[in-house]
Amino acid sequence: MLTIGDLSKTTGVKVPTIRYYEQMGLLSPPERSEGNQRRYSKSEQERLSFIRHARDLGLTIEAIRELIDLSGHPEKPCAEADRIAAEQLAMVRQKLERLRKLEAELERISTHCHANQVRDCYVIQALANHDLCATDHG
């Protein structure tokens, strides 16, 4: 059995986050020692590692909740898990596209400025006037 501090060290998840996941119902309430310390089993450590990895991949708490529920029914088809992963992939691709637009616009405005003084600085002017931007990057 692990204390909450040991669980935090082994999974890399901070103690307040572990408590938050318990409140959200992603982790079961832990057993308590005679001194009322939380005690976690190997399966709870594995669950927390699962949650951390899912969060690292950007999955929402609700998506993680669905995946945890699915993992409790190994006989079910994995179409729902595939759907959740595909939705996350689509969101990541949308973010990447937005970041590419931001990169291009920042590169354009930062290389467009050849002024010596701030009053003539294209970066400042472009930030103050969205019409000077080459694309809609918002």
- N residues, the chain: 138
Residue type, 24: M
Nearest-angstrom CA–CA distance, 93 and 75: 31
Q: Which pLDDT value is given to residue 133?
A: 83
pLDDT given at position 129: 87
Query: How high is the pLDDT of residue 21?
Result: 96
Range 95-103, long-range pairs (CB < 8 A, 24+ positions): 98/137, 101/135, 101/136, 101/137, 102/137
The span from the CA of 119 to the CA of 138, in Å, is 25
Element (H, E) at 31: strand 31-32
Rounded Cα distance, 53 and 107, in Å: 33
Domain boundaries, the chain: 4-76
Residue 84 to residue 31: CA distance in whole angstroms: 31
What pLDDT, on the 0 to 100 scale, is given for residue 138?
Answer: 66
Write down the CATH number for the domain with range 4-76. Answer: 1.10.1660.10
Q: For each successive 10 residues of the chain (138 residues), what is the average pLDDT?
A: 94 96 92 88 95 96 96 94 97 95 91 84 88 78
